[in-house]
Amino acid sequence: MFQSKLNHILACHPIIKTDIIKGNNAYLFDSDGNKIIDFESGMWCTALGHNNSKINEVISQQAGKIINTHFKLSGDVSQVLAINLLGLLNFNDGKAVFLSSGSEAVEFGIRISKLISQNHKILTFSTSYLSAFPTTSLPRNENLWIQIDFLQCNNCTKTKCTTECKVLKHINFNTISTFVLEPGSSSGRVLFPPDRLVKFLSENVKKHGGYVVVNEVTTGFGRTGEWFGHNHYEINPDIVVLGKALGNGYPVSAVIMTDKIASEVEGKKFSYAQSHQNDPLGCVIANEVIRIFKEENIIQNSREKGEFFLYQLHDIKSSCSVVKDIRGRGLMIAVELSIPNSAELIFEKMLNKGYFIGTTPAWNVLRFFPPLTISKDDIIKMCKELRKQLKELEKTVS
């Protein structure tokens, strides 16, 4: 169906030449008229669907006024966005800064937490994807990072975590400036850390002078069936990082902090300036995204459709031996296969049938992060085809 090569695009990852020229909600259309149902929301960004008419309207209106200003010339639109996000996070009198990508926002959040802490090390989970930048991407510098494999906690029967636990006993909380929590994506594997562990780490990092930074770039804005992924946990973050769905495909990100953090950062005379800081176009789009989420009850929609989707997948699992596990919250869902190197094979077959699904090949995982506005009918049709392809795979190993 599709060509496989683009001769003048640097191949940093697998690329399939599809020549997508138009989108509409969960649908993508190529130049030959083929329709693809997108179960990845672009790159997990278009939570409100591709080519959303309401967002297009505010883009058009703002583009006719001004797109970019100097970082010294921020105005009311960025102030309104800050107030909107602070309200959603219950941060009261906190502050925000708006950037372009999730990666730079995560870096910024970590940077300011280290700035105001007396400690120097960063704590996170070993499965967390934090950014594309070398300081936070895998593999991480062991002199700077402390990493925890929470999968070792799966069979733990204790109701509370302690520093005597074999998973935690190597941690010296006196050295930790920052606990960076990614509440669910786990580099596309869709793994959720245990509640008691997240709470224990958060409380102890704060107790010893560190701060909690939550990376909500992927898990924010309804993806897990709540406004934010950390809403599933009993924690109070100091800094929250947003991206992806915040701009519904337009590159805008945010770093939101409590008033205490903001006061300490500004007290350090911290300086940071870049070309697209607090840009009016990105802020206008983000404000419209928030308005639509509230007006159209998108959070509940994600929760209900996620439950519906999981039900369909569990029905497939009951009759397909090649399905090892199904995991999900809201519309962040993974299907783990039992056959090595099979995820990409299923991906190709599904794409040729008009369904674009995600994969995490190293772990034999199929990913489903569709627009939160996807229809139940499209979920049913995709699951019907997926069942067929998995049954065909099953025949090859029986």
In which residue are the tokens 């799966």 written?
Answer: 154
- DSSP label at residue 17: B
Q: Are residues 245 and 151 in the same domain?
A: yes
15 belongs to a structural domain: no
Q: Given 268, 295, 322, which residue is the final one in a domain?
A: 295
What residues make up the domain containing 275?
A: 56-295
Q: Are residues 308 and 285 in the same domain?
A: no
Per-residue confidence (pLDDT) for residue 4, from 0 to 100: 54
178 belongs to a structural domain: yes
Q: Given 270, 295, 320, which residue is the final one in a domain?
A: 295
Q: Order the strands of the 95-99 sheet from edge to edge.
A: 95-99, 253-257, 239-242, 211-215, 176-181, 121-125, 145-148
Q: Are residues 285 and 305 in the same domain?
A: no
Determine which helix (DSSP H) or strand (DSSP E) holds 53, and give its type and residue range.
Answer: helix 53-63
CATH number at residue 65: 3.40.640.10
Determine which helix (DSSP H) or strand (DSSP E) holds 123, and give its type and residue range.
Answer: strand 121-125
51 belongs to a structural domain: no
Per-residue confidence (pLDDT) for residue 158, from 0 to 100: 83
Question: Could you tell me the two tokens for 307?
Answer: 């439950």
Number of folded domains in the chain?
2
CA–CA dist 87, 240 (Å, integer): 13
In which residue are the tokens 């509640």 written?
Answer: 195
Q: Are residues 278 and 154 in the same domain?
A: yes
Q: Are residues 91 and 64 in the same domain?
A: yes
Q: Are residues 289 and 320 in the same domain?
A: no
50 belongs to a structural domain: no
Q: Are residues 284 and 383 in the same domain?
A: no
Bridge partners (DSSP) of residue 147 are: 124
44 belongs to a structural domain: no
Divide the 398 residues of the chain into consecutive groups of 10 and give the mean pLDDT of each group. 68 84 97 96 97 98 93 89 97 95 96 95 94 87 93 84 87 96 93 95 97 98 98 97 98 98 95 92 98 98 98 97 97 97 96 97 96 98 98 88
CATH number at residue 338: 3.90.1150.10
Q: Are residues 280 and 318 in the same domain?
A: no
Q: Are residues 252 and 110 in the same domain?
A: yes
Q: Given 266, 295, 324, which residue is the final one in a domain?
A: 295
pTM: 0.95
Determine which helix (DSSP H) or strand (DSSP E) holds 282, and give its type and residue range.
Answer: helix 280-295
370 belongs to a structural domain: yes
67 belongs to a structural domain: yes
Determine which helix (DSSP H) or strand (DSSP E) holds 240, and give its type and residue range.
Answer: strand 239-242
113 belongs to a structural domain: yes
Q: Are residues 384 and 320 in the same domain?
A: yes
Nearest to 219, CA basis, from 179, 189, 185 = 185
Peptide bond into 139 cis (omega under 30): yes
Q: Are residues 326 and 376 in the same domain?
A: yes
What letter represents residue 116's amino acid? Answer: I
CA–CA dist 133, 120 (Å, integer): 19
Q: Are residues 157 and 305 in the same domain?
A: no
CA–CA dist 18, 3 (Å, integer): 7
Strands 253-257 and 95-99: antiparallel
Tell me how crowded residue 128 is: count the other CB atoms within 10 A of its CB: 23
